[in-house]
Amino acid sequence: MINFLLRRLFLLGTVLFGLSLLAFSLGYLFPGDPLQNFSGIRQLEPQLRAELTAAYRLDHSYLSQYLAFLNRLWHGDWGLSLASQQPLLSEIRQVLPATIELTSYALLVSFLFGVPLGILAAIKPEGYLGKIINTITVAGYSLPVFWWALLLIMVFSVGLGWFPSGGRLGVLYEIPTVSGFMLVDIFLAETPYQQAIFLDALRHLALPTVVLATFPTTVMIRFVRDAMLEVWEQNYIKTAKAKGLSRLQVLYRHGLRNALLPVIRQIGLQFSALITLAMLTEVIFSWPGIGRWLLDSIYQRNFPAIQAGLMIISVLVITVNMLTEILHTFFNPLARKR
């Protein structure tokens, strides 16, 4: 296991190295002045320019510049946003929790609905229930997320007025940011309206979570269903059945555990698709997350922000991937030997 962990960590290191190299070269590859791309300072007075050139070692070799770049990253100096002239790291700290919050609820929903539905579909694959679930899955899988989101907004918020059309919380509720996670912050806030605000936050969460969960849920259903069907054919299941265990017991003790193992891995693989979908969802629902922030930055030609945003999102995706892989291996001794 230790050996495996070390190998993974080495791989992580290599990927991060490549990523930082790419991020660094973006400073030169983006149009405009590299010094401005790195620092994000809009008004570069001659004196400041000289100081920064020295600090960033821009008059030295690329290697030396890259090391200085790494050093800055490490010390949290990620430069300023060209648009707002605020430190990028603090901006990211504000928007990233919103994305993580939305994504994890969507993952949770996809897990809570995907797994049972997948099992249901697997019990009698040719039965009515199996076919219905299958049809819904194919439909959900092929739904373009922006169209689906707009449809839900049209029906449930503009038409029926049940849910707000966007945002994280009714704007009249003032909740101080502590953790950046809305539900946690509401819990921490001292306000007589806590309960009403909590409900309001849930109402804001409903539609984006449904939209974002649609794709992973359908993937999860199909995956669990296929895994279950495969496991169902295994000899140990037949043995268990022959021993006289009831259908439910076989399903739970022997089927589910083995079928769910690859699902853990699936979460990691789904994560990058999920982040991409989250960006679209955030834009449509005005969710103040990193996806919307990054798209705004692209529109504003805010190169330092694009650089930092890409880096953060890639690191996030890679880390989650790696973690689920490690978790998968931890639960599955067979995989360690591979």
Partner 1 sequence: MIKYCLSAAMLALGLAGCSAEQQDLRADGLVYCAEGAPEHFNPQRVTSGTTIDIISQQLYDRLLDIDAASGELRPALAKGWQSSADGLVYEFDLRHDVQWHQTDYFQPSRVLNAEDVVFTFNRIMDPEHPFHFIGGGIYPYFQSVDWASLVKQVSAPEPYRVRFELSRPDSSFLSNLATDFAAILSAEYAAQLLAANAPQLLDSQPIGSGPFIFREYQKDVLVRFYQHPHYWRGPAAMQQLVFDIVPNNARRMAKLLTHECDVIAYPRLAELALVTERPDVKVQESTSMNVGFWAFNTQRPPFNQVKVRQALALAINQRAILQAVYFNQATAARSVLPPTSWAFNQQLATPEYNPQAAKALLAEAGLASGFNMTIWAMPVQRLYNPNALKMAELIQADLAQIGVNATIVSYEWNTFRRKLTEGEHDSVLIGWAADNADPDNFFRPLLSCAALESGSNRAQWCDPVFDRILNQALLTDDQLQRRSFYLAAQQYLQTEMPLVALAHSQRIQAINSQIEGVTINPYGGIALFSARRVQP
Q: Which residues bind partner 1 (CB under 8 A)?
A: 83-84, 86, 153, 157-158, 161-167, 170-174, 187, 192-196, 198-200, 202-203, 206, 286, 288, 296, 299-301
CB of 148 to partner 1, least distance (A): 16
Kindly list the distances between the CA atom of residue 62 and the CA atoms of 66, 68, 299, 304, in Å, as whole numbers in the listed order.
6, 10, 29, 18
The nearer residue to partner 1, 24 or 78, going by C-beta atoms, is 78
Neighbours of 330 (CB within 10 A): 14
Read out DSSP for 146-168?
A: HHHHHHHIIIIIIIS--S-SSSS
CB of 204 to partner 1, least distance (A): 9
The nearer residue to partner 1, 70 or 202, going by C-beta atoms, is 202
The nearer residue to partner 1, 125 or 288, going by C-beta atoms, is 288
- Cα 166 to chain centroid distance, Å, stands at 19
State the Cα–Cα distance between residues 202 and 252, nearest whole angstrom. Answer: 33
DSSP letter (8 states) at residue 31: S
Helix, strand, or coil here: 87? strand
CB of 160 to partner 1, least distance (A): 9
The nearer residue to partner 1, 160 or 248, going by C-beta atoms, is 160
Angle at 238 between CA 237 and CA 241, to 5 degrees: 85
CB of 61 to partner 1, least distance (A): 34
CB of 162 to partner 1, least distance (A): 6
CB of 169 to partner 1, least distance (A): 10
The nearer residue to partner 1, 130 or 288, going by C-beta atoms, is 288
The nearer residue to partner 1, 135 or 177, going by C-beta atoms, is 177
Of 108, 106, 94, nearest in space to 181 by CA: 94
State the Cα–Cα distance between residues 72 and 278, nearest whole angstrom. Answer: 29
